[in-house]
Amino acid sequence: MFVQVIEGKTRDAAAVIEHGERWQRDLRPGAIGYLGVTAGVTDDGRSVAIVRFEDEAAARANAARPEQTAWFEEMAKLYDGEPTFAESSDVTEWMGGGSDDAGFVQVMKSTGVDRTQVEKMDAAFEPFADQRPDLLGGLRIWTGADSCIDVAYFASEAEARQGEKAEMPEELQEIMGQMQSMGETEYLDLRDPQLH
Amino acid at 146: D
Q: Tell whether pTM > 0.85.
A: yes
Tens of pLDDT, residues 99-119: 999 999 999 999 999 898 888
**Distance (Å, rounded) from C-alpha 154 to C-alpha 149?**
16
DSSP annotation of 27 = T
Confidence of residue 122 (pLDDT cuts 50, 70, 90): confident
Q: Helix, strand, coil shares of the chain as percentages rounded to 5?
A: 35, 35, 30
What is the C-alpha R_g of the chain? 17
Judge residue 182's burial from the number of C-beta atoms within 10 Å of its C-beta, 0-12 exposed, 13-18 middle, 19 or more buried: middle
pLDDT tens-digit map of 38-53: 999 999 999 999 999 9
